[in-house]
Amino acid sequence: MEIVVIWFRRDMRLDDHIALSKAITYAKKHEYKLLALYHLDPFFTEMKMDLNNEHFFQNLAYFVKEARKSQVYVHLLHDDVLRAFQQVMDVYNINAVFFNEDEVGIGQRRDKQVTDFLEKKGIHVSTWQDTHLHGAQDILKADGSHYQVFTPYYQSWRKQEKQPVIKVDKSFFSSGHMICDESLSQKGNEKLRDLIKGCSRKFDQIGTEKAMNTLQQFIQKRLTRYQEKRDIPSVFGTSKLSRFLKTGTISIRTIFHAIYEEALYEDEGRETFIKELAWRDFYHMIYAHYPEMKEKEINSAFQGMRWNDDETLFEAWCKGETGFPLVDAGMRQLNEEGWMHNRLRMVTASFLTKDYLIDWRKGEAYFAKKLVDYDEASNIGGFQWAASVGTDAVPYFRIFNPITQSKRFDPSGEFIRKYVPELEHIDEKWIHEPSKMPIDEQLKSGCVLGDTYPLPTVDHQERRKKAISLFEEAKQQ
């Protein structure tokens, strides 16, 4: 039997899906049946489970269940990726394979490997850019080179027409044109069940319906004040859409056009949010042009930096026990929820690299394990920005003061008290610098410094001077 394959990846939806729509059109034209598959990569299934993986696999299980209700049987194949495709080829004559490509990282390398393998077998491969509003090669300078500074990139990005929402002919699903071969999926089904059983916590904000509800709530309640509320961690002022973009349960096009079509009028909140979507495209483009940036600083002047390898300090940062309340609150939010407010991602990354002088790669890897919305390009770009070693990064002499950031973005200490319960009963006067609290106040609040809550693990002003000296030394080498 001759078939067409639609290969799902981080695009777990049946709506606004380019590769799926194109595969259906192709199958209808040639009168082929369509086989849907998802490849469970042992690289991810065999690694130690953490919040990022747990969230992703729970989304996958939900998507498979919902898709099968819509008569799209997503076959789960758990093996080396080439052997997985060979298993399908042993049973069916594959005419074409459609998928939404990865342009960066391990996904890009896998895509090339699979494409080469299939094309050598005479199978047509059709790939599409679906994860971003603009792909890595879409926004270039007049001379064909890529942008390295965000502002001119954004100016060009803003002028480019955005692709419309893609219509998927769902009537095809109920027409008997979809293949359901349970024997092919048995091993993968069992593996996914085992992965779900091994999860330490259950996530409920998953699936396309929740994603669409989140989008509508954001537009109706928070978009108009987004520019003024998005930096305040204690306020629900952000979109909370990033986790859905991570798994592709909603498309970036659906979000973009809903913001434009359903917002009542053009305002600063909307423009600020649109700019965040452009940042996502920008870092994706940068990663595509600097494929080594996960391991190497883009700014070559800082590729020989002598970072601090103090494991005790790194552990304190990971646990949220640095003695700096806002930093600790941010890290504890990450450890508890698998998500961190964007302002605090900058604060905690800056603290790790400028106060602790610890290699940004260690922080990036820790976030990669914990963040349910982990986007490799954005996370690497964000850490290189905070560490002053990336493209268009914050200058190395501009160093976030964690206490100033705390006073500015959590003035009453509401967010701190929520995530650092040891400080819950401390007076607002001391909440940002509890180390200055007199002993009688410590006893009164039930928070004894050095016992109930740690004293500051470093002196910020001293570390600021040392950080600047370290960067200047690296520049001179």
Q: Are 96 and 20 in contact (CB under 8 A)?
A: no
CB-count exposure of residue 443 (10 Å: 0-12, 13-18, 19+)? exposed
Asked if residue 145 belongs to a known ligand binding site, the reply is no
Asked if residue 19 belongs to a known ligand binding site, the reply is no
Q: Are strands 74-78 and 33-40 parallel, antiparallel or unpaired?
A: parallel
How far is residue 189's CA from residue 172's CA, in Å, rounded to a whole number?
24
Asked if residue 467 belongs to a known ligand binding site, the reply is no
Asked if residue 351 belongs to a known ligand binding site, the reply is no
Asked if residue 374 belongs to a known ligand binding site, the reply is yes
Asked if residue 415 belongs to a known ligand binding site, the reply is no
Number of domains in the chain: 2
- Is the same domain home to 456 and 342? yes
Asked if residue 375 belongs to a known ligand binding site, the reply is yes
> Per-residue confidence of the chain (477 residues) as pLDDT tens digits?
899 999 999 999 999 999 999 999 999 999 999 999 999 999 999 999 999 999 999 999 999 999 999 999 999 999 999 999 999 999 999 999 999 999 999 999 999 999 999 999 999 999 999 999 999 999 999 999 999 999 999 999 999 999 999 999 999 998 899 999 999 999 999 999 999 999 999 999 999 999 999 999 999 999 999 999 999 999 999 999 999 999 999 999 999 999 988 655 568 899 999 999 999 999 999 999 999 999 999 999 999 899 999 999 999 999 999 999 999 999 999 999 999 999 999 999 999 999 999 999 999 999 999 999 999 999 999 999 999 999 999 999 999 999 999 999 999 999 999 999 999 999 999 999 999 999 999 999 999 999 999 999 999 999 999 999 999 999 887
Model pLDDT for residues 121-136, shown as the tens digit of each residue: 999 999 999 999 999 9
Q: Residue 161, Cα to own-chain centre: how many angstroms? A: 25
pLDDT for 260 equals 84
Asked if residue 142 belongs to a known ligand binding site, the reply is no
Asked if residue 451 belongs to a known ligand binding site, the reply is no
Has residue 168 been placed in a domain? no
Asked if residue 361 belongs to a known ligand binding site, the reply is no
Asked if residue 273 belongs to a known ligand binding site, the reply is yes
**CATH code, domain with 405:** 1.10.579.10
- Is the same domain home to 318 and 459? yes
Asked if residue 276 belongs to a known ligand binding site, the reply is yes
How far is residue 29's CA from residue 395's CA, in Å, rounded to a whole number?
56
Has residue 438 been placed in a domain? yes
Asked if residue 290 belongs to a known ligand binding site, the reply is no
CB-count exposure of residue 83 (10 Å: 0-12, 13-18, 19+)? exposed
pTM of the entire structure?
0.96
> What are the tokens at 78?
């758990």
Asked if residue 277 belongs to a known ligand binding site, the reply is yes
**CATH code, domain with 15:** 3.40.50.620
Has residue 253 been placed in a domain? no
Has residue 284 been placed in a domain? no
Asked if residue 373 belongs to a known ligand binding site, the reply is yes
- Is the same domain home to 305 and 192? no
- Is the same domain home to 183 and 324? no
- Is the same domain home to 333 and 188? no
Has residue 211 been placed in a domain? no
Q: Residue 398, Cα to own-chain centre: how many angstroms? A: 26
Has residue 234 been placed in a domain? no
Asked if residue 238 belongs to a known ligand binding site, the reply is yes
Has residue 319 been placed in a domain? yes
Q: Which residue has the tokens 């705390």?
A: 406
Asked if residue 279 belongs to a known ligand binding site, the reply is yes
CB-count exposure of residue 392 (10 Å: 0-12, 13-18, 19+)? middle
Asked if residue 309 belongs to a known ligand binding site, the reply is no
What does residue 389 show for φ and ψ, rounded to 5 degrees? -120, 0
Has residue 120 been placed in a domain? yes
- Is the same domain home to 190 and 304? no
Q: Are 34 and 173 in contact (CB under 8 A)?
A: no
What is the domain range of residue 122?
A: 2-131+177-197
Model pLDDT for residues 270-305, shown as the tens digit of each residue: 999 999 999 999 999 999 999 999 999 999 999 989
Give the helix ranges, DSSP H, for 235-307: 242-247, 252-262, 268-289
- Is the same domain home to 311 and 437? yes
Q: Are strands 74-78 and 124-128 parallel, antiparallel or unpaired?
A: unpaired
